[in-house]
A and B are shown apart, each in its own frame.
Chain A
């Protein structure tokens, strides 16, 4: 089972993608989708040096995505307001450093996608020596507020998803 289906969520996602692309649940498309769902992860396995992500609690992932979606819409309005009504000179764009404890490559990938999808923040890079994130903020008011927000709103839930052992070790 493990050998032919290395990651069930990945296979299910590919299967659903195929059916959505073809907008059909014909038996022929079900069959083709199943072939794709089984073959593609096997063929792409050498491209996954870190292996497949294991998500223990899908519900927590959806909660995180839902909260991020609300945050994205809120930031959209903030950024639009700044573009429309603020003088361009008055926008305080800054680089800030956010120290991260998250190490899991899948978790970091998710974090970077969420941060970059949120208007007003762009991930620049992860400094390798001290695991600090260099982040560009569109309109900075309070550096500490941004650091706290990213650590509690994003990093903590992602660590609980991808590094449950490390998190429970810290808070026994």
Chain B
């Protein structure tokens, strides 16, 4: 009998649902990388993976091991804390690297950027 069989149904059901849901969300985030056109759109795909996808899987892990070992197992909270502290910084670094690369190459990034360059007077020139 595997440890999973020993789990009572009231814990097994939410664990399974959370795992499936987290997996689907992660898959959607990866699908975003394939489907979306520009880099600036693709950067939004993994954001759902690291928040809701990872969150669901970590809650499922906490639930499973808490019930299985009959003691509170909550050190997964640390994983979520570290993800929420590091992922935003990485996203910002990648985003800025892309913006500076485009500005250096002389490509205006979007229509909005051109519009803003007119409105706020040569701010692009200064940043380049």
Q: Which A residues contact B (CB, under 8 angstroms)?
A: 17, 20-21, 23, 72-73, 76, 79-80, 83-84, 88-89, 91, 93-97, 112-113, 115-120, 122-125, 127, 129-130, 132, 136, 138
Contacts and interface: CB of A to CB of B under 8 A. Distances in A.
B36 interface: yes
B95 A124 contact: yes
Interface in B94-128: 95-96, 99, 109-113, 116, 120, 123, 127
Interface residues of B, number: 43
Contacts, number: 112
A117 B44 contact: no
A23 B74 CA distance: 9
Contacts of B95: 122-124, 136
B32 interface: yes
Interface in B42-65: 43-45, 47-48, 50-52
A17 B123 CA distance: 44
A125 B96 contact: yes
Contact of B110 (A88, A94, A117, A119): A94
Given A83-B31, A83-B35, A138-B44, A116 B87 contact: yes
Contact of B32 (A83, A118, A130): A83
Given A23-B75, A94-B112, A116-B88, 6 more contacts: A20-B75, A83-B32, A83-B36, A91-B41, A94-B111, A97-B120
A120 B36 CA distance: 13
B16 interface: no
Interface of B: 25, 28-29, 31-32, 35-38, 40-41, 43-45, 47-48, 50-52, 73-75, 77-78, 84-85, 87-89, 91-92, 95-96, 99, 109-113, 116, 120, 123, 127
